[in-house]
């Protein structure tokens, strides 16, 4: 099917045509009613009769679409091209959003990005044309916003090479964030393999009111479940409160489900979704969805008695939910906004924010912007002005053009805000700020989803808090973290005390959306003659050399390149910001390996001891030295290793530099799969205390690999410098198929073999 600027209704109808024949027999087989996620997954099973068990089986699924953003698409497409196929097997799109740096304003920054990244954009565009992918130019918007506006549909299933792909759950789609190698499977015609998820039900009662917004729902859920509480689970939202939330508000909630590690999050089809589809020119899809509405929500028996059907149920009363603000450093550190001031004073966090940022894929809908603008407008009328530099990133060209037409952008501009490009910008560290600000401890408030150290401006001095756009604007007007918009007042230019008025907004633009400047480039019907060139001297792109297959031998006495202390997210493993430049060049990006990781032996960040020469060096240099010397190694870590992004560079870099295993207390889902895909063994300590026993000069052996089998731990030894050993078990979640990848050297090597016949 040709790739177009929007999901064609025929594709949707084809998906729905299978529902009766798939879902009804599955219900019978299970002998119980089904939840929404179960229905959508069953409808997308590769083998309709496959057995599945929550949290146990790995199953093959057939997604309807693939989406990739520019920072991950490069590596995904470099892998895809090595399979030597004429076309992608399912409709796939590339979105240019991550590589645009925020510095001056949207227009200037976009021009600079077009020039500075031209080599990468040309590569992505020519690969897209050759292999039949749709290409969204820089400036057209952030992948998840564009997907919501154009491609998502209730009951569909997609994967995306970005952890916030679940944003499309706001339109009732099962949308899963994956590493590039998973996307390559699907684009080459293979199924997507994933562990059948557990199910967490979130029942929403009451109705949002006042300053509370959809963002506060997920900030609260993050508080309850923590950053790892959703691992291996799909979060399903339902209940009377769900119906009161707009489709874009639902998308905000699903989007930030990535921060609790969930496989994805999803809402059942309702009228709000129908309104959004109609307003974005997709009435036919809305009508098709209405016709199968009973398949697009959990069965009535499930809704009536959720405890019996979900693995865990959380209830949130929207009527009493207070506005929250989470951070710094971790998205699950939550409190109602009114409590932040006292906490900041106690902790010594700078009280006056250095910047306030509205936007990102999480919070840049028409509704978000109109609510935030309403606060600014009435504040201006009462003689209040913004005291903190305010920046706004519209999520897409369509949103930008519409809020411009409706005068909302002007409200921001009049308040002195900088309007940045329709792109990720400061959300992914593409933010050029004066050093005078970042060299000092400072705080920022954003309507984004992530707030790991160094995430936004590369500075560990910057403490980031995530909250709703409404709260961001309120704190910007106050110029202080110590302000509760519900109860406090501000002094206006006439010296009077005024309270901020409660935000009001419009769910959808009354006059409909205006598309603005179209950014979609369709592929030619036949691109087979087109050539894709990668210069051998490029510093940004490098063709991939297949990883070596496993040599059949156990791993003996490998040095511990890194034992990480505390959080070791994908940002710690493979930093973004300036390093986004090298996302298409494995060797060059490996220069950032573990630069953010904290060495458990010394407390230092990004450096450790080179066991070959005893010197202290940055981790990437040690890794390069080991690689060149042919010395394989392991890394050791704590809980939730690889939390955060889907970037497979965090798995490919260690693989490229010779890592054989990553041994930790627990893994984040996407990253664990990425390691398996690239042929690195992801092991977890059967006895978590072994982590503590590992010392700097120890070596680690991993044995019995010839008998590697699903469900059987591998036997490992810590070998101390004096020759004494400590045996321990390394658990793993490798299926037969994953073990095949390991033996072949990578999952891609198997695809290559099959493609070669």
Site residues for ligand MIC per CB under 6 A: 71-72, 98, 162-164, 177, 428, 450, 576, 644-647
Query: How far apart are CB 646 and ligand MIC at their closest, in Å?
Result: 4
Q: Tell me how far the alpha carbon of residue 42 is from its chain's centroid.
A: 24
| Residue pair 217/321 in contact by the 8 Å Cβ criterion | yes
The Cα–Cα gap between 298 and 303 comes to: 7
> What DSSP assignment string belongs to 195-233?
EPPEEEEEEEES---TT--HHHHHHHHHHHHTTTTTBTE
| Residue pair 171/251 in contact by the 8 Å Cβ criterion | yes
By C-beta, is 444 or 576 nearer to ligand MIC? 576
Which of 450, 540, 655, 738 does the annotation list as catalytic? 450
Q: Which two tokens stand for residue 326?
A: 């989470």
692 included as an active-site residue: no
Which partner in ligand SF4, ligand MIC, none is near 71 (CB below 5 to 8 A by kind)?
ligand MIC
Residue 380: burial class (beta carbons within 10 Å; 0-12, 13-18, 19+): middle
Which partner in ligand MIC, ligand SF4, none is near 142 (CB below 5 to 8 A by kind)?
ligand SF4
By C-beta, is 22 or 450 nearer to ligand MIC? 450
Which partner in ligand SF4, ligand MIC, none is near 93 (CB below 5 to 8 A by kind)?
none
Query: How far apart are CB 257 and ligand SF4 at their closest, in Å?
Result: 12
Positions touching ligand SF4 (CB under 6 A) are 142-144, 162, 164, 360-361, 424, 427-428, 448-449
Which partner in ligand SF4, ligand MIC, none is near 360 (CB below 5 to 8 A by kind)?
ligand SF4
Which of 44, 62, 647, 732 does the annotation list as catalytic? 647
By C-beta, is 279 or 422 nearer to ligand SF4? 422
Per-residue DSSP letter, 147 = I
Q: Which residue from 600, 659, 594, 599 is spatially nearest to 633, judged by alpha carbons?
A: 659
Which of 645, 646, 666, 746 does the annotation list as catalytic? 645
Query: How far apart are CB 280 and ligand SF4 at their closest, in Å?
Result: 19
Polymer length of the chain: 757
Q: Which residue from 216, 219, 197, 194 is spatially nearest to 207, judged by alpha carbons?
A: 216
Which partner in ligand SF4, ligand MIC, none is near 72 (CB below 5 to 8 A by kind)?
ligand MIC
Which partner in ligand MIC, ligand SF4, none is near 344 (CB below 5 to 8 A by kind)?
none
C-alpha to C-alpha distances, 103 to 141, 433, 443, nearest whole angstrom: 17, 7, 19
Q: Burial code of 385-399, b = ≥16 C-beta within 10 A, e = fewer?
A: bbbbbbbbbbbbbbb
493 included as an active-site residue: no
724's CB contacts (< 8 A; 6+ apart) are: none
Which partner in ligand MIC, ligand SF4, none is near 245 (CB below 5 to 8 A by kind)?
none
> What DSSP assignment string belongs to 386-451?
--S-EEEE-SBHHHHHHHHHTTHHHHHHHTT-EE--SS-GGGGT-B---HHHHTS-EEEEESSS--
97 included as an active-site residue: yes
Alpha-carbon torsion (265, 271, 273, 276), positive or negative:
negative
Which of 109, 162, 216, 638 does the annotation list as catalytic? 162
29's CB contacts (< 8 A; 6+ apart) are: none
Query: How far apart are CB 142 and ligand MIC at their closest, in Å?
Result: 9
Query: How far apart are CB 147 and ligand MIC at their closest, in Å?
Result: 13
Which of 64, 70, 97, 368 does the annotation list as catalytic? 97
By C-beta, is 197 or 425 nearer to ligand SF4? 425
Q: Which residue from 502, 255, 512, 207 is spatially nearest to 371, judged by alpha carbons?
A: 502
By C-beta, is 142 or 157 nearer to ligand SF4? 142
Query: How far apart are CB 164 and ligand SF4 at their closest, in Å?
Result: 5
Query: How far apart are CB 421 and ligand MIC at their closest, in Å?
Result: 15
Query: How far apart are CB 663 and ligand SF4 at their closest, in Å?
Result: 29
By C-beta, is 195 or 450 nearer to ligand MIC? 450
Which of 22, 44, 95, 98 does the annotation list as catalytic? 98
Quick one: the chain helix, strand, coil %, rounded to 5?
40, 20, 40
By C-beta, is 79 or 646 nearer to ligand MIC? 646
By C-beta, is 163 or 418 nearer to ligand MIC? 163
Q: Which residue from 188, 180, 170, 172 is spatially nearest to 67, judged by alpha carbons?
A: 180
Catalytic residues: 97-98, 162, 450, 645, 647
């Amino acid at each position: 099917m040709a790739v177009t600027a929007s999901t064609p209704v025929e594709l949707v109808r084809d998906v729905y045509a299978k529902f009766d024949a798939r879902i009804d027999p599955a219900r019978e087989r299970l002998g119980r009613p089904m939840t929404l996620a179960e229905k959508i997954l069953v409808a997308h099973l590769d083998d309709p009769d496959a057995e599945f068990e929550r949290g146990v089986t790995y199953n093959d699924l057939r997604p309807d679409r693939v989406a990739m953003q520019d920072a991950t698409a490069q590596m995904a497409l470099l892998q895809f091209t090595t399979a030597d196929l004429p076309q992608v097997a399912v409709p796939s799109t590339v979105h240019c959003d991550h590589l645009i740096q925020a510095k001056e304003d949207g227009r200037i920054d976009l021009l600079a990005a077009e020039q500075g990244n031209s080599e990468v954009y040309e590569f992505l565009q020519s690969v897209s044309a050759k292999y039949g992918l749709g290409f969204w130019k820089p400036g057209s918007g952030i992948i998840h916003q564009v997907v919501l506006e154009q491609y998502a549909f209730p009951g569909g299933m997609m994967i995306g090479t970005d952890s916030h792909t679940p944003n499309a759950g706001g339109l009732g789609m099962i949308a899963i964030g994956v590493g590039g190698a998973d996307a390559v499977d699907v684009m080459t015609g293979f199924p997507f393999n994933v562990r059948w998820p557990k199910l967490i039900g979130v029942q929403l009662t009451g109705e949002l009111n006042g300053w509370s917004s959809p963002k506060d729902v997920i900030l609260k859920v993050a508080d309850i479940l923590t950053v790892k509480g959703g691992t291996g689970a799909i979060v399903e939202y339902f209940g009377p409160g769900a119906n009161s939330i707009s489709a874009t508000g639902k998308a905000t909630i699903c989007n930030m489900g990535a921060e609790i590690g969930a496989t994805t999050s999803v809402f059942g089809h309702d009228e709000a979704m129908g309104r959004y589809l109609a307003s974005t020119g997709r009435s036919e899809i809305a009508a098709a969805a209405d016709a199968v509405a009973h398949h697009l929500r959990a069965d009535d028996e499930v809704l009536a008695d959720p405890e019996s059907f979900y693995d865990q149920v959380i209830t949130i009363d929207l009527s009493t939910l207070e506005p929250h603000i989470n951070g710094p450093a971790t998205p699950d550190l939550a409190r109602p906004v009114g409590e932040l001031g006292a906490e900041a004073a106690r902790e010594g966090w700078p009280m006056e924010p250095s910047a306030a940022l509205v936007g990102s894929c999480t919070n840049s809908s028409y509704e978000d912007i109109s609510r935030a603008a309403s606060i600014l407008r009435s504040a201006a009328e009462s003689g209040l002005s913004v005291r903190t530099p305010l920046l706004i990133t519209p999520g897409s060209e369509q949103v930008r053009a519409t809020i411009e037409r409706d005068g909302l952008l002007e409200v921001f501009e009049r308040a002195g805000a900088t309007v940045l490009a329709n792109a990720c910008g400061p959300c992914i560290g593409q933010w050029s700020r004066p050093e005078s600000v970042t060299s000092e401890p400072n705080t920022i408030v954003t309507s984004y989803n992530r707030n790991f150290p160094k995430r936004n401006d590369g500075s560990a001095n910057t403490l980031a808090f995530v909250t709703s756009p409404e709260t961001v604007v309120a704190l910007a007007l106050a110029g202080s973290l110590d302000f509760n918009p519900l109860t406090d007042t501000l002094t206006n230019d006439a010296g009077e005390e005024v309270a901020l008025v409660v935000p009001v907004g419009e769910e959808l633009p009354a006059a409909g959306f205006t598309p603005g400047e179209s950014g979609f480039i369709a592929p030619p019907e036949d691109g087979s003659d087109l050539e894709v060139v990668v210069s051998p001297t490029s510093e940004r792109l490098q063709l991939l050399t297949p990883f070596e297959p496993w040599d059949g031998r156990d791993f003996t006495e490998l040095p511990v390149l890194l034992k990480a202390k505390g959080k070791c997210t994908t940002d710690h493993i493979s930093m973004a910001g300036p390093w986004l430049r090298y996302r298409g060049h494995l060797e060059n990006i490996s220069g950032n390996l573990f630069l953010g990781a904290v060495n458990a032996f010394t407390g230092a960040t990004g450096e450790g001891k080179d066991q070959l020469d005893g010197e202290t060096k940055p981790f990437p240099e040690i890794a390069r030295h080991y690689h060149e010397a042919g010395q394989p190694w392991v890394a050791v870590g704590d809980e939730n290793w690889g939390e955060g992004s889907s970037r497979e560079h965090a798995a490919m870099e260690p693989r490229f530099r010779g890592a054989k295993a990553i041994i930790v207390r627990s893994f984040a889902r996407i990253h664990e799969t990425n390691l398996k895909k690239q042929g690195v063994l992801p092991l977890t300590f059967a006895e978590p205390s072994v982590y503590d026993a590992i010392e700097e000069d120890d070596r680690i052996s991993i044995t019995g690999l010839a008998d590697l089998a699903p469900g059987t731990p591998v036997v490992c030894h810590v070998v101390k410098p004096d020759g004494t050993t400590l045996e321990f078990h390394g658990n793993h979640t490798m299926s037969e198929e994953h073990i095949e990848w390991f033996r072949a050297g990578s999952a891609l090597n198997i695809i290559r073999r099959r493609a070669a016949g």
